[in-house]
Chain A
Amino acid sequence: MNESPIVAAHDLVRVFGEGDAAVRAVDGVTIDFPEGAFTAIMGPSGSGKSTLMHMLAGLDRPTSGTVTIDGTDLSTLDDADLTELRRDRVGFVFQFFNLLPVLTADENILLPLSLAGRDPDNKLHDRLVEAVGLEDRLTHRPSELSGGQQQRVAVARALMSQPSVVFADEPTGNLDSKASEGILDLLRRAVDEFGQTVVMVTHEAYAAAIADRVLVLVDGRVVNDETPESTEHVHDLMNQAAA
């Protein structure tokens, strides 16, 4: 964990609105995400987790501060370059509505590659499909899949393009605990087996507990940055933050 970071943020600030109504959703965050690490971001609702993640992923531009992915300063990129960066170097898993309803599960998995016009790595594809356990569901449409299955497809899609980093915003937020475990297990394996860098926003202590590192955000600032030892430990961190 002492190599150069894949994603680095320096003094990030994001202000919504103006004057009296202005909200500093992210208020001076400086952090590094080293390669091959699984980071969980926690914090009370409205603390700026999603906003921070959006800026890290090139979906939103900071009011001030810089984000670097793989050595590229995002502020130097125009919209087309940013789009390309998201397509090739960033994987996404959202809380819901991850998949295109008109495409089959497999087409969804391959979507970023199709958009890039790249041929998929067949070996990786087979391994991923096996890992997410969707071998016999590949030709189904999202509407024919359960919520957990849909999220697994989304994870497979995020990993398929072998991105520099995968961002997941409450990927288990809509799932029951069993399905959640499946998703968390997948993400963990991606880090362990593929050396994937993963950043996950979550509200669940047990989810954060499987990460290598937990960041706690309060009012747009990082108030804690620790290695989680157990679910209880994460609970404690949260309670501290709430206090």
Chain B
Amino acid sequence: MTSLALRNLGARKLRSFLTALAILLGVMMVAGTYVLTDTIEQSFDKIFAESNEGVDAVVTSKQAVETDDNTEPPIDAGVLDRVREVDGVSIAEGNIGDPQVAIIDKEGERIGGGGAPTFAISASTSDAARERFDPLTYVEGGPPEAKDQVTIDKAAAEKGDFSLGDQVTLAGKTEARQYTLVGIATLGDVENFGGASLALLTLPEAQRITGKQGQFDQITVAAEEGVDQETLAKNIGAALPPTAEVETGEEDTESSQEDIGEFINILKTALLVFAGVSLFVAAFLIFNTFSITVAQRTREFAMLRTLGANRRQIITSVVVEAFAIGLGASVLGLLAGIGFAPVIGLLFDAIEIGLPKEGTVVETRTIVVALVLGTGLAVLAALIPAVRATRVSPVTGLREGAVLETSAGRRRRGVFGIALTALGGVVMALALFGALTPGEAWVGVGAATVFIGVALLSPRLVRPMASVVGRPLEATRGVAGRLARENTTRNPGRTATTAAALMIGLALVSFVTVFAAGLKGSIDDAIDEGITADLLLSNTDNFSDIPALAAEEVKDVPGVESSSPYRYTQAQVEGADGTSYLSLIDPATVSDIFDFDWREGSAETASDLGPTDAFVDEGWADDNDIGVGDSFAVTTPSGKELEYAVTGTFKDNTDFFGDYVASGQDAAAYGEADNVTNVFITLADDADGDAVRGEIEDVVDTAFPTAKVQNREELKDAIGSQLNQLLGVVYALLGLAVIVSLFGIVNTLALSIYERTRELGLLRAVGMSRRQVRRIIRYEAVITALIGAVLGLILGILFAILVSRPLADEGFVLKFPVATLLVLLVLAAIAGVLAAIGPARRASRLDVLKALAYE
């Protein structure tokens, strides 16, 4: 039986090939994801290990609040003296390592474009420390020795076309300054930090540019001969103030690696979800292919059974065939994935998430998962058709045109489909409203269940939908259109499964499209309604901070009425879940720039905001049972304890302000004295807007090159284009699933053409031209594709409606980008045409006489 199965495989090369291709693509994506993320992780590990070489202990301040960027606040310089006193300490050095600076190139643009950070790092203060700790290899020159000198990494020097002696501009938390380039370095043999750059400065200058005078980011310690890391750390720990903590060098390296590992895990999960979608679609294709071919072979099976083969043997033969295809495709998919990993990496480069990727890491886990997944899926998808085929009694099977599915079976399938669809919808709803955790995962499970349910249901939809989509073709294209429509409905289950595969991809694409349009629209609304400022300053990377000084400098520009600093940051509110986001505003000018959507309170609530007052987001207040008149306690990232009295509540549309708004007078308590998120600017009524803007730009360009001036429209455009970039990546990742489903169309067409060989021969004999034959096949593909697209569009829109429900409180308003959705339909039809090219050509080239003689 096994050899029979394998012979079948060879005999139906095209079908096997297309099925294999579907699995291959899915496995490729999974393997590619693992290889890419493992590679990134390993590159990071190497960077951390290199930079911590020679370090036996690291002292940092304790992280008071878990923030998104996960950095500790700086530590007081006084701690260094204490550490130096500790037994077993040979060298102790206070360092700066701050990712919030920028190297400005000769054209005034920041190097790295703002996607990857630039670190300001302090140079060693003694030769002994340099010898012991300095991870840098100086390719040219050496470290800076004066405050107006800088050493930068090789990649940055190349990007900025800098050579020794050049003037290099650095922007930090103060006004930008020029430095003389005295060295070019690499980190050990690491060439690529994933776009991140280094600027090495003398310690005092590094402290100044990062706003950390009298502070260090960390203290690195080397042990005396014979003292091990644990003993050293224990000794130091005893001498530290309660705000500081110590780790051994090894622990520090590991915790850095873990931190980045968490981030990479998020990436990996996201990519695996998309890979999963492709595999899910591939499973449909495999299932469909085996259903068709097993149906075509029902007679052959029946004959084998009359000859004495038992059911198990027949099932085994089908499964062996699936196993062979699955295994072969998985191996190829694994290899393709190793090659494909850099391509996925390009997607991140496209949205300027620079990540180091050196070499290619193929873990055993990658190989196992890829092979098991691909092979397992193929076998599972083949099992159902195999079992179904053998349920037919041999005698029935031998009769011509035996039907595999009874009408009762079809009805059962329909009922089951409805039940699954409903179940999936309920699961999604429960997950969205927090009844099932983790929410994202359950939403995914619910969506997958809905897809299967609709797929089971869809055979009933094929006939009416084919009528709707097919009638226009029939009316304009006559008999070819008519035949195409009839052909798609003659086996509704087959068309339905084929269309369902495309439906999945399209549902997700249209969901993302509708959701993104809603997000964009809602943000635009919030900006239009909430922001009354004329201009704003923000970081050129659109999210980092800019120097607080900018607010002061801009205030002095003639024609500027007010210049209001705005800070968006995090803190831990006592009793609240997770870390809270908050806004710090300038009460004196806030009424010029923001128009809050008050629930309790008025513009005065904001302008009269005292240092210990706060007004809070309505939803957050409800969740935490806080109201006007209550007070709440806060721990800031720098470990300060604050207490706020609630003076008002407002509706925070699109979550722009976070959970509460307090006065910026206390910015220092949050460690945010030197930087702001934005500066909002209003112009005097009689000011010449363009001229004033020009002057503001002059100030910004020279003193604060990391900042840019925008008006409201530009802000909306910037957010829109960021959103579009992200959307582009998601489209690209979903594109793979769509491509897989197109193979499904090709496959189904090829198989049904094979079944209809005689019919096609007859048509050709009585005078159907090749062109007309091609047209039929093309229309069949278009009808199938459109059925899938319409179903997908409907599901996608429903998903978007469902998912946006819980966000309605935050001012999320759905928008339907009708034009884009129509474009999707047209694209689906075009995709159908493309999928039909091969099969249509094959069909039209049939040898008429052979086809007529075909049995």
Contacts and interface: CB of A to CB of B under 8 A. Distances in A.
Interface of A: 54, 59-60, 79-80, 83-84, 86-88, 90, 92, 94, 97-103, 107, 111-112, 114-117, 157
B6 interface: no
Contact of A87 (B478, B767, B770): B767
A111 B483 CA distance: 11
Interface of B: 478-479, 482-483, 486-487, 490, 758-759, 762-772, 848-849, 852
A86 B765 contact: yes
A50 B718 CA distance: 74
Most buried by A among B478, B486, B764, B769: B769
Given A92-B766, A100-B762, A115-B479, 13 more contacts: A54-B849, A59-B848, A86-B765, A87-B767, A97-B762, A100-B483, A100-B759, A101-B490, A101-B759, A111-B479, A111-B766, A115-B763, A117-B478
A154 to B, nearest CB: 10
Contacts of A103: 482-483, 486
Given A101-B759, A102-B483, A114 B478 contact: yes
A97 B764 contact: no
Given A102-B483, A103-B486, A114-B479, A157 B766 contact: yes
A97 B758 contact: yes
Contacts of B769: 80, 83-84, 87, 115
A99 B772 CA distance: 18
A97 B768 CA distance: 16
Contacts of B772: 115
Given A97-B762, A101-B759, A116 B767 contact: yes
Contacts of B479: 107, 111, 114-115
B611 to A, nearest CB: 81
A90 B770 CA distance: 18
Most buried by A among B478, B479, B759, B763: B479
A100 B767 contact: no
Contacts of A83: 764, 767-770
Contacts, number: 69
Nearest to A83: B769
Contact of B768 (A87, A94, A102): A87
B399 to A, nearest CB: 14
17 contacts: A54-B849, A80-B771, A83-B764, A84-B767, A86-B766, A88-B767, A90-B767, A92-B765, A97-B758, A97-B759, A97-B762, A101-B490, A101-B759, A103-B482, A107-B482, A114-B479, A115-B763
Contacts of B483: 100, 102-103
B750 to A, nearest CB: 19
B767 A115 contact: yes
Nearest to A102: B486
A229 to B, nearest CB: 34
Contacts of B478: 114, 117
B45 to A, nearest CB: 63
Nearest to A99: B762
B849 A60 contact: yes
Contacts of A111: 479, 763, 766
Contact of B490 (A54, A92, A102): A102
Most buried by A among B759, B765, B769, B852: B765
B852 A94 contact: yes
A105 B750 CA distance: 27
